[in-house]
Chain A
Amino acid sequence: MKTIKFLAMFLAIGALAAFKADVPAAGYKVGDIAADFSLKNVDGKKVSLKDIKNAKGYIVVFTCNHCPYAQAYEDRVVALDKKYKALGYPVVAINPNNPEKQKEDSFAKMQERAKEKKFAFPYLLDDGQKVYPLYGATKTPHVYVLEKTAKGNVVKYIGAIDDNYEDATLVKQKYVEAAVDALLKGKEVSVKETKAIGCSIKA
């Protein structure tokens, strides 16, 4: 009897594991309301989306120090913030990695990097790795464009910054810019979701 119970448990676990593997990761889809958060910025202060003044929306970028893809996009993230903060769409960068698993992504190293690259936007640590699973981010870099509405912050775009991680000069489609430009004109975002290679998040 014991063996049967044990077997049943084993089977149930197996079934669960199989189930888990077949269902796409949870997280936001375009049209969902994204949760706000309160995370520690490189300046030591907590930052929430609602605290950012004059925002019409946000460009939330899950990124980090160590990942070569994230590094390849650093200057482009800085440029996005420079262009769109004044228009009401500031960049909010979040490092989702657990610094215990990835030493280069420690808070101290984040501070160094932000200084080096002169980040003019918040660079937040997802301490305890609680925010990225809500959003459904799986890798760095991974972008969510949110529009601030009376209902809350609506997800309008999920995915890559553009279509060439290797060479910014060869980019044909600037997905994030196109999405924000459309929102600023009160239009529908045409490309709502893209996929890109990135470093898996180290939780």
Chain B
Amino acid sequence: MLKRLDIVAVALILGLAIGCKKEAATNIEVTEPLAESPTDTTVPAPPRPIKVYTNDTVTVNAYEFDNGLDYYLNQKNDTTYVVNFWATWCVPCVQELPHFEKINAKYKENKVKVILVSLDMAKMIDTKLLPFINQKQIKSQVLLLRDPDADSWIPKVDSTWSGAIPATVIYNKDMRKFYERSFTYDELEKEISNFK
């Protein structure tokens, strides 16, 4: 059911994005609220992207931080989220991506979800980011953070973050940790095991 709603939502957004292609991304307005389960009013609906980037095979939603990415850093359910900040041009980020992919695949049934937050610049999305996701067959969810006023949101991710990437937040409803560093697979798996 959820999957179907997602598809409907994406289709709606896509349709809107295509419809408004000539206008600025921020002009996309969704008048109807996204479908929400009527029995579960405590869970807020996912935010609407400011823009949807797509080619033939890959679709990536772009968000600003407030009323956008912050949702994905503050979900309160029984899943442990591993949120990695990266970019295609960041060598150490790309080196550790396979570890995040492996975690996402291996722990899918164990309520661990990886979210890859790309910080690629606007001009690199069509030429670098989308082809990269396609080529590397990235299975984890990829979001794009398009919010150039970084000083406004870096401290909201973590007060100790200097802004260097790679950086990772691991959290669930009870616990949260921030890492301004690279991981080997074993290090990452060990950190996640502390969240059980």
A residues at B contact (CB < 8 Å): 21, 24-25, 67-68, 72, 102, 138-139, 142, 159-160, 163-167, 170, 172, 194-202
Assess whether B149 is in contact with A197, with CB atoms less than 8 Å apart.
no
B175 on the interface (CB 8 Å rule)? no
B164 on the interface (CB 8 Å rule)? yes
A167 to B165 alpha-carbon distance, docked (Å): 20
B177 to chain A, nearest CB (A): 9
Contacts A68-B89, A195-B151 known; A139 to B162 CB distance under 8 Å?
A: yes
Question: Interface majority SS on A: helix, strand, loop or mixed?
Answer: loop
B80 to chain A, nearest CB (A): 19
* B residues in contact with A198, CB < 8 Å: 163-165
B119 on the interface (CB 8 Å rule)? yes
B155 on the interface (CB 8 Å rule)? yes
B92 on the interface (CB 8 Å rule)? yes
Assess whether A200 is in contact with B148, with CB atoms less than 8 Å apart.
no
* A residues in contact with B149, CB < 8 Å: 163-164, 172
A160 to B148 alpha-carbon distance, docked (Å): 12
A142 to B92 alpha-carbon distance, docked (Å): 19
6 contacts between A and B (CB under 8 A): A68-B87, A138-B163, A164-B148, A194-B151, A196-B163, A198-B164
B166 on the interface (CB 8 Å rule)? yes
B151 to chain A, nearest CB (A): 4
Contacts A196-B154, A200-B92 known; A138 to B164 CB distance under 8 Å?
A: yes
Most buried by B among A159, A163, A197: A197
Assess whether A195 is in contact with B121, with CB atoms less than 8 Å apart.
no
B2 on the interface (CB 8 Å rule)? no
Contacting B148 at CB < 8 Å: which of A25, A163, A194, A195?
A163
B184 on the interface (CB 8 Å rule)? no
Most buried by B among A24, A68, A163, A194: A68
A159 to B, closest residue via Cβ: B151
Assess whether A163 is in contact with B163, with CB atoms less than 8 Å apart.
no
Assess whether A139 is in contact with B163, with CB atoms less than 8 Å apart.
yes
Assess whether B154 is in contact with A195, with CB atoms less than 8 Å apart.
yes
B90 on the interface (CB 8 Å rule)? yes
A46 to B188 alpha-carbon distance, docked (Å): 43
